[in-house]
Structure 1
Amino acid sequence: MGPEPARMADVVVIGCGAAGLSAAIEAADRGARVIVIESEPSPAGSTRLSAGYAAFCETDLAPGSREELYLDLLEAHHGDHDEALVRLYVDHAAAAYRRLLELGVRFAGTFQFAHMHQAWGHEIAGSGVHGGAELGRLLEIAARERGISIMTRSRARRLLRDEQGRVDTVMVDTPAGTLRFAATRAVVLASGGFTRNLALIRNHGRPGTERILAITGAGSRGDGLIMALALGADTAYLTAGIAPTGPADPATGKGAMLVYSGAVIMNRDGQRFCDESGLYNDISWAALEQPDGLIFQIYDEAIRQAHLGTMLGRVLSGYAEHKADTLEQLLGLLQQAAGLDAEQAQLEIAAYNRAVRRGEDPGFGRRHLVGTAGTPPAIASGPFYGIVTVPGTTHFNGGLKVDVALRVIDVFGEPVAGLYAAGEVTGGFHGAGYLSASHVGMALIFGQLAGQNAAASA
């Protein structure tokens, strides 16, 4: 018997998160037959686990201009990024937002994160399901309504070229064995990052990055990156992009961001080490330099209740809280649990409370809850709470080099024929930094554009 015939499609999309589903929908709406390959049992990948904020401009909720958003991105990226990709993002942000409304996605409001001079972060609305889970659910519905085939438990392992050098086949491990999927127009890589591939992190990351706790989808193994590298693809900001995002509880693997509601953070020695209102990946970078990389988040009942009313509070849950009637008792519990210097911590929090009541923070300059929004309260009304966290990550920021058509570029600066990419598998947009809400935004915007271009590929 000869080899089993290939499953045929015009466009094959690898990955079923925000980028992959967006690409599939756009390609299908341009007349393409689309198959989506997903390694995990359920669609939506890391998107499903995220808060789902997406940074857009020139919308009804965020009327600020694309140039204003660009300047905030430039600041968050520390002035170092792929200029063309960032311009592509801001130029298409409003259209991507309108497209999501057409697909049934609704937004509840906006949020102003660190490095934002305006509230660019659009919050997904939903009843019962929130954030990235709701976004993934709605995009999956839109894909299935278009007859798009979604193959779960199917892991893409190789990309093959035809005699002209065009990528036209994907080899996929499925429960039925290894199958071939043929793409008559193009393949789109939207397979996510490599936060769960320790070998890639050790080979390409800076010292210490192997200690970052991954709180991502199980499929974040770098499959798309590896397959493209085998074809000679180039990379962008790969090492710079291996970075933490926010704190996470190592015991449960759950993200915990009480700092943006007013929690104070300190290291094992009972000392604060950064401005809690800053960008959460900057907080996590600073934490990697602390003893054992521990981040103690300490707060009171008023801060806890305020946090539970936010999208971050609804989506980031399940972490282990320590609770006590008095601050002294709480610090003692944290000392027993993770070695916190309780005596020094008590002095530090007393000094912090005096500072915020005066409206100043001589140690680290904290004057807001997050970015330039909100006023931090004193930690004074029991019961008191603490979480032991470490630097975690919801994504990496570097990956395959792409051009403004989202074509994968090889090491000689030429497009890899028939191969597009979008989402976390790509690099260059975030550059040397990261603006909150722009990662999901980038997946959506670039996913839409990659699908459109793939469908038009000859």
Structure 2
Amino acid sequence: MSGSQISRNIPDHIDAEADVVVIGAGACGLVAALRAKAAGAEVIVLERDASPSGSTSMSSGFVPAPATRFQRSIGTEDDTPERFEADIMSKSKGKSAPSLARLAAQTIGPALEWLADAHGLEWTVLDDFLYPGHSRHRMHAVPEKTGAALEARLLVAVEAAGIPVVNEARVTTLHAEGDDRIAAVGITRPDGATEILGCKALVLACNGFGGNPALVRQHIPEIADGLYYGHQGNTGDALIWGEALGAQLEHVSGYQGHGSLAHPHGILISWALMMEGGIQVNSEGARFSNEHGGYSEQAVNVLAQPGGIAWNVYDARVHAFAQGFPDYQEAMAAGAIREAAGVTELASITGLPGVALEATLSQVATYQSGEAADPFGREFTGKPALAAPFFAVKVTGALFHTQGGLMIDDQARVVREDGSAFANLFAGGGAACGVSGPDVSGYLSGNGLLTAIGFGFVAGDAAGTLAVPGASG
């Protein structure tokens, strides 16, 4: 772990300094930087890659938020932070950290409205279906409906605010002053050159540890053999630094999985297909779970099938609906989507056993008509019955990003085991403990960007205020 170190020695020189240093230029780091700048601080963002992208660009870009004016504009008048908090806690069966669920639910709406008002980000609310576990339409997206577009818009805002983002600047060392304060960070460049950057406050926004196979196997063995569909730079730096400093680590076994990654293409197939009436079958042509239970825990269900493979099966109505998602269009262009005139052809092009596949579709038809109840507990009657022609895509389960991390307080300050906070160390997004609880089933759609933007908003404000007391933004 030599790439992530804590030095107890004060550096003998400082090459440069800033009021607030932010490690990571994804959604969390960029929002934190914007908020710290608004508080009057001089801010520098350090990004390990040649250009910022990370988990934000790989995500769907959908952010759940309650009680926003964007919701009200589509007629959703009765959502509240309390309702959202209840949905978060319900999905994790009460295992989420209550203080963090409350902080996220209360903060995210104001954060999105501030980004719109102060930095021109446009938000639309997806109201064509409810994501699993959400009781109201509250999923916000930029007009392009992609994580890459969200990242791009945040980068434009950061540039317009005059905040430097220094690329190819991997932070390898935190210089701790005593047991309470981070005085500086050590940066290593691709050519081996090093620099020391002093700071009054430090925000860890460098995500989780999904790209560190050893840490995944240590903390989340059930998904260690699954495909990792996340940013390779998520190597657990924040977790390693935090552990060395004596920070409180929480829910490190929690993670977001996904049971619908096109195989072998590596393209996300939106779970909206399942919510609109699609089903999943294994290589034997049989369903194996309630597809409405949640796409995160479905990763484990899919990986438990023969070969760790499943097929999404749906019809022309769902196929037409899915084309509204850029990822699905990419999957079509890559040849991942198969089309068949009927069950016989569907069996032929997928290699699934025809008799079993026909039996499965016949059973589903009885569930959709209300003649029988699904033994897995899924409610089918709310959507039209599947009808030829059929479509199918081969998928596998994957680890998207970890959900556990450094425990933070209501100012996003990292805390120790005894609950006391470090003086100037903040965390958000995947670097911090999230709101999904300790296992895969607790992930509620959008929890990743919820804590990236929500906790980044809090961390930036608190770090900026600490670094420049009395300044007005």
Could you say whether these structures have the same fold, taking a TM-score greater than 0.5 normalized by the shorter chain as the test? yes
CA distance in 1, matches of 2:423, 2:217: 30
> Aligned to 1:292, what secondary structure does the other structure show?
helix
> Aligned to 2:466, what secondary structure does the other structure show?
coil
**Number of the residue aligned with 2:205:** 190
Match of 2:175 among 153, 160, 163: 160
Gaps of 5+ in 1: 369-373
* Contact persistence 1:352–1:361 (CA under 8 A): no
* Contact persistence 2:56–2:148 (CA under 8 A): yes
**Equivalences for residues 297-446 of structure 1 within 5 A:** 297-310=312-325, 313=328, 318=334, 320-335=336-351, 340-358=352-370, 361-367=373-379, 375-382=382-389, 384-432=390-438, 433-446=442-455
1:254 aligns with 2:267: yes
Task: Give the C-alpha shift of residue 189 in structure 1.
Answer: 0.5
AA paired with 1:21? L
CA distance in 1, matches of 2:435, 2:282: 32
- CA separation of 1:223 and 1:150: change in aligned 2, threshold 3 A: same
Task: Give the C-alpha shift of residue 287 in structure 1.
Answer: 2.3
AA paired with 1:275? N
AA paired with 1:121? M
Match of 2:248 among 226, 229, 234: 234
User: Which 4+ stretches in 1 moved above 6 angstroms?
Assistant: none
* Contact persistence 1:44–1:133 (CA under 8 A): yes
**Number of the residue aligned with 1:113:** 131
* TM-score normalized by the length of structure 1: 0.90
AA paired with 2:233? G
Deviations 1:45-86 (A, max 9, x none): 111121111111111214311111111111111111111111
Task: Give the C-alpha shift of residue 314 in structure 1.
Answer: 5.7
> Aligned to 2:67, what secondary structure does the other structure show?
coil
CA-atom RMSD in angstroms: 2.3
**Number of the residue aligned with 1:278:** 293
**Number of the residue aligned with 1:371:** none
**Number of the residue aligned with 2:235:** 221
AA paired with 2:245? L
**Number of the residue aligned with 2:258:** 245
CA distance in 1, matches of 2:87, 2:457: 23
Number of aligned residue pairs:
442
**Equivalences for residues 2-81 of structure 1 within 5 A:** 5-60=14-69, 61=71, 62-63=76-77, 64-81=79-96
CA distance in 1, matches of 2:143, 2:330: 12
**Number of the residue aligned with 2:188:** 173
- CA separation of 1:106 and 1:428: change in aligned 2, threshold 3 A: closer
Deviations 1:102-125 (A, max 9, x none): 221112223421111111212321
- CA separation of 1:164 and 1:333: change in aligned 2, threshold 3 A: closer
* Contact persistence 2:13–2:196 (CA under 8 A): no
> Aligned to 2:194, what secondary structure does the other structure show?
strand
> Aligned to 2:211, what secondary structure does the other structure show?
coil
CA distance in 1, matches of 2:320, 2:133: 25
AA paired with 1:358? G
**Number of the residue aligned with 2:471:** none
AA paired with 1:401? M
Deviations 1:237-268 (A, max 9, x none): 001x1352342124122111332332210122
1:123 aligns with 2:128: no
Match of 2:154 among 134, 139, 162: 139
AA paired with 1:377? P
* Contact persistence 2:403–2:436 (CA under 8 A): yes
> Aligned to 2:110, what secondary structure does the other structure show?
helix
Task: Give the C-alpha shift of residue 359 in structure 1.
Answer: 6.9
CA distance in 2, matches of 1:85, 1:326: 49
- CA separation of 1:154 and 1:349: change in aligned 2, threshold 3 A: same
AA paired with 1:194? F
- CA separation of 1:243 and 1:141: change in aligned 2, threshold 3 A: closer
Deviations 1:200-256 (A, max 9, x none): 0111113x31123222223222222222222222211001x1352342124122111
Larger displacement relative to structure 2 (341-350 or 68-77): 341-350
- CA separation of 1:176 and 1:6: change in aligned 2, threshold 3 A: farther
Task: Give the C-alpha shift of residue 133 in structure 1.
Answer: 1.6
Deviations 1:311-355 (A, max 9, x none): 7746877572233333222222322xxxx4443122111221232
* Contact persistence 2:40–2:465 (CA under 8 A): no
- CA separation of 1:299 and 1:232: change in aligned 2, threshold 3 A: same
> Aligned to 1:42, what secondary structure does the other structure show?
coil
* Contact persistence 1:234–1:409 (CA under 8 A): yes
AA paired with 1:86? A
CA distance in 1, matches of 2:234, 2:383: 36
AA paired with 2:139? G
AA paired with 1:116? H
Gaps of 5+ in 2: 1-10, 468-473
**Number of the residue aligned with 1:291:** 306
- CA separation of 1:269 and 1:114: change in aligned 2, threshold 3 A: same
Deviations 1:145-202 (A, max 9, x none): 1211111122212211125741122122213534334333111000012212111011
- CA separation of 1:263 and 1:90: change in aligned 2, threshold 3 A: same
